[in-house]
């Protein structure tokens, strides 16, 4: 979800740079082993004036990648970088860091016509809220390095490697990657190919457009949720109040909810500060199959709502949020977003220091 949002911001920026006749280089993490701050598909844009957007690590690789990217900008030749870390600071590629793993990063200019075409196609598809799609790029081969296709489950949408047969193979592999939603590196017909999967962002419906909803909308959108704000008070629904919301919907709980498109992937937070309105919103969303319906307020309030409705309480999260000792709208919003991320990932939201296996292991 964060990956798709970051990719959208970068391709939009590339479009602006191209229109201004400027140059830039894109670095993409294509393989990561062991401990990592980012995952495959993380992107880092380096512009001709040295400014950057995004990142491929927690900050330990960016300076070195930026220096190499500026060289790629001048030569135009893509490069596949490999960073090997050790168990201590003495065995790390001369950067004085250690993470006990390895990272492969593909660096290419975005000023070439083919790359611009691909990124423009991706930009259009993301703006249209396209269903999951994938970008398959040749990152290692005797020829065709840097050539890409954009594909969905139905086949190629844009781009070409120059070989129709290889395009079909890449599209078939992309379709398989789209099923499990994982970006990965693989060998296809003698070519090393990275398939970058961009899954559709999860939707978060927030019922209640009061002032305390503003930080929640901002934080949730920043981590990648497509946020929809719903309220019966039209004056509260403005882009000035909620600039990062995907949609603002003037609606009451007794009206038709079809426009909201509630399904089993929809997250909901109910915070109207009215017991009756909260109860009716919970009823509608639980009946609609939403797997997560959070209610702001004390446990007794949630219990009363659940009892009056006779609904399955497993889908109702109240008091909403993780137990962080939050105080005030901003901290409460952080606790709610943390719980949303944990539920979406199937995690309990405990301390990482108690996790024995790798951080991103399921």
Residue spans of beta strands (DSSP E) within 55-183: 79-84, 101-109, 133-140, 148-152, 155-159
Average pLDDT for 136-156 = 95
Helix (H), strand (E) counts: the chain: 8, 16
Q: What average pLDDT does range 336-350 have in this prediction?
A: 92
| Contact criterion met (CB below 8 Å) for 322 and 338 | yes
pLDDT score at 358: 63
- Whole-number pLDDT of residue 131: 83
61: pLDDT strictly greater than 90: no
H helices of the chain, in order, are: 2-19, 62-75, 113-127, 164-180, 213-222, 275-287, 299-309, 329-345
| Domains of the chain, residue spans | 2-198, 203-345
The answer, yes or no, to whether the previous bond of 106 is cis (omega within 30 of 0) is no
Task: Please check the confidence at residue 235 and state whether its pLDDT lies above 60.
Answer: yes
Q: Would you state the pLDDT for residue 57?
A: 81
Sign of CA dihedral 25, 223, 15, 17: negative
With CA atoms as reference, report the closest residue to 188 among 146, 134, 139, 153: 139
pLDDT exceeds 50 at position 267: yes
Q: Which of 139, 164, 165, 135 is nearest to 152 (CA)?
A: 135
SS3 at position 226: strand
pLDDT tops 70 at residue 63: yes
Q: What percent of the chain has pLDDT over 90?
A: 73
User: Which CATH number is associated with domain 203-345?
Assistant: 3.40.50.720
Mean pLDDT of all residues in 226-239: 96
CA 160-19-23 angle, 5° bins: 75
Q: Is the pLDDT of residue 96 over 90?
A: no
pTM comes to 0.83
**Tokens standing for residue 60:** 């330990």
Say how far apart CA 42 and CA 5 lie, in whole Å: 11
> Considering only 11-20, 64-73, 99-108, 265-274, which range has the smallest mean pLDDT?
99-108
Q: What is the per-residue pLDDT for 99? A: 57
Name the DSSP letter for residue 202. Answer: P
Q: What is the mean pLDDT of the chain?
A: 90
Angle between helices 213-222 and 329-345 (to 10 degrees): 40
The C-alpha atoms of residue 186 and residue 298 are separated, in whole angstroms, by 50
The tokens of 284 are what?
């509608």
- Out of 86-95, 128-137, 337-346, which region has the weakest mean confidence (pLDDT)? 86-95
Q: pLDDT digit string (tens) for 37-52?
A: 688 999 999 999 999 9
For range 259-270, the mean pLDDT: 91
Span 26-33, average pLDDT: 92
Spatial distance between the Cα atoms of 198 and 335, rounded to a whole number of angstroms: 26
Q: If you search the block for the tokens 């999260």, which residue do you land on?
A: 317
Using CA atoms, how far apart are residues 335 and 148, in angstroms rounded to an integer? 40
Rounded to an integer, the average pLDDT of 326-345 is 95
pLDDT at residue 359, rounded to an integer:
62
The Cα 222–Cα 338 span in angstroms is 12
Q: Is the pLDDT of residue 334 over 50?
A: yes
pLDDT tens per residue across span 309-331: 998 778 899 999 999 999 999 99
Higher pLDDT, 124 or 57: 124
The stretch 124-140 carries a mean pLDDT of 92
The residue-averaged pLDDT of 187-214 equals 95
Rounded distance between C-alpha atoms, residue 225 and residue 344, angstroms: 11
pLDDT at 119 over 60: yes
Q: What is the mean pLDDT of residues 240-261?
A: 94
Confidence of residue 92 (pLDDT cuts 50, 70, 90): very low
Residue 350 pLDDT level (bands cut at 50, 70, 90): confident
Q: How far is CA 214 from CA 218, 227, 239, 335, in A?
A: 6, 11, 11, 14
Please say whether the beta carbons of 164 and 170 come within 8 A. no
């Amino acid at each position: 979800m964060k990956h798709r949002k970051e990719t959208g911001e970068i391709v939009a920026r590339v479009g602006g740079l191209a229109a201004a006749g400027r140059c830039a280089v894109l670095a993409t993490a294509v393989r990561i082993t062991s401990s990592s701050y980012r995952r495959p598909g993380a992107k880092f844009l380096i512009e001709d004036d040295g400014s950057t957007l995004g990142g491929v690590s927690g900050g330990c690789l960016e300076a070195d990648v930026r220096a190499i990217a500026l060289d790629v900008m001048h030569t135009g030749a893509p490069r596949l970088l490999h960073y090997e870390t050790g168990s201590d600071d003495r065995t790390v590629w001369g950067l004085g860091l250690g993470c006990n793993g390895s990272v492969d990063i593909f660096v290419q200019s975005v000023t070439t016509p083919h790359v611009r075409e691909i990124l423009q196609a991706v930009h259009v598809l993301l703006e249209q809220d396209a269903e999951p799609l994938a970008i398959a790029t040749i990152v290692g081969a005797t020829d065709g390095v840097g050539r890409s296709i954009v594909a969905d489950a139905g086949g190629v949408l844009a781009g070409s490697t120059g070989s129709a047969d290889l395009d079909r193979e890449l599209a078939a592999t992309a379709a398989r990657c789209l099923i499990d939603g994982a970006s990965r590196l693989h060998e296809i017909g003698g070519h090393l190919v990275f398939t970058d999967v961009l899954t559709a962002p999860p939707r978060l419906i927030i019922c209640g457009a009061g002032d305390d909803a503003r930080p929640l909308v901002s934080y949730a959108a920043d981590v990648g949720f497509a946020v929809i704000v719903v309220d019966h008070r039209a004056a509260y629904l403005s882009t000035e109040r909620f600039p990062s919301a995907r949609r603002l919907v003037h609606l009451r709980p007794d009206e038709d909810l079809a426009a909201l498109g509630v399904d089993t992937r929809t997250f909901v937070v109910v915070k109207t500060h009215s017991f009756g309105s909260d109860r009716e919103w919970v009823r509608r969303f639980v009946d609609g199959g939403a797997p997560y319906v959070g209610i702001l307020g004390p446990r007794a309030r949630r219990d009363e709502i659940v009892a009056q409705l006779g609904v399955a309480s497993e889908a109702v999260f109240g008091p909403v949020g993780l137990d962080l000792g939050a105080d005030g709208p901003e901290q409460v919003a952080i606790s709610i977003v943390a719980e949303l991320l944990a539920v979406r990932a199937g995690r309990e939201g405990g301390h990482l220091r108690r996790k024995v296996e790798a951080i991103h292991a399921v």
